[in-house]
Amino acid sequence: MSRQLRLDLNRPASHARQDFVVGPSNAQAVAGLDAWPAWHGGCLALVGPKGCGKSHLAQDWAASANAILLHAHAPELDQAHGRPVLVEDVDQDFDDEALFHLINMAGREGGGLLVTAQTPPAAWTARLPDLRSRLNALPVALIEAPDDEVLEGVLRKFFRERNIRPPNEVLPYLLRRMERSIPAARDLVEKLDEAADAEQRPISRALARRFFDDDTENLDLFDD
């Protein structure tokens, strides 16, 4: 099967809620988002490490709440009146005064504010004293690094999007050795698909073994 044909068969990636894999590492955050619109003050900070699925959940919320997406360093506040707002990666760079106003506006009729970050609001640097107090009080929904249940689910999802059904022994093998993040899972599935296509062979544990270093491969001596 040619590369072009394989690419044409690939299913488009989905960011819908039904395609988000829920597990112990993110169940609390999912429950926090599902409490909308009953967030305290209309605000919620979705916090977790890079690659844990924050954007997936945030974009799904934005679609369901009919929210607008604003940039943290230069938000256009005129667009936020009476509308739910999503601001991603707030801890990377934000305008103090604008964020202060967005938090205040979130509690008004029709408003709301979801922000995503890798660190909790209490750790963000704020020059405005009034903003500092609001950040300290901001409700937080925490996503931890993906657990095995989540990683297995996203691996299956990424394989499914490429119309691949790997043998049963491949997923446990990958889970013991892969980097613990969703982008790493996506990258691994992509590389396995490309290697299998180049060699005109199905994905297998032997093929997967190439993507891990010699020390990790030696664990196979003790595999059941």
pLDDT score for 222: 34
* E strands, the chain, in order: 43-47, 68-70, 84-87, 112-117, 140-142
Mean pLDDT, all residues of the chain: 86
The Cα–Cα gap between 32 and 169 comes to 35
Angle between helices 27-34 and 54-65 (to 10 degrees): 10
Angle at 80 between CA 55 and CA 138, to 5 degrees: 60
Does pLDDT of 49 surpass 70? yes
The Cα–Cα gap between 66 and 5 comes to 37
pLDDT score for 15: 61
Q: Please state the pTM of the whole predicted model.
A: 0.80
The DSSP annotation for 91-102 comes to GGS--HHHHHHH
pLDDT score for 3: 42
Q: Sorting pLDDT into bands at 50, 70 and 90, what band is 4?
A: very low
- What is the H or E stretch that residue 49 is in? none
Task: Give residue-wise pLDDT tens across range 54-82.
Answer: 999 999 999 999 999 998 877 788 888 89
The Cα–Cα gap between 33 and 143 comes to 11
- What is the H or E stretch that residue 76 is in? none
pLDDT score for 47: 97
Task: Give residue-wise pLDDT tens across range 122-166.
Answer: 999 998 999 999 999 999 999 999 999 999 999 999 999 999 999
The Cα–Cα gap between 102 and 80 comes to 8
Q: Sorting pLDDT into bands at 50, 70 and 90, what band is 7?
A: very low
pLDDT score for 71: 86
Q: Sorting pLDDT into bands at 50, 70 and 90, what band is 118?
A: very high
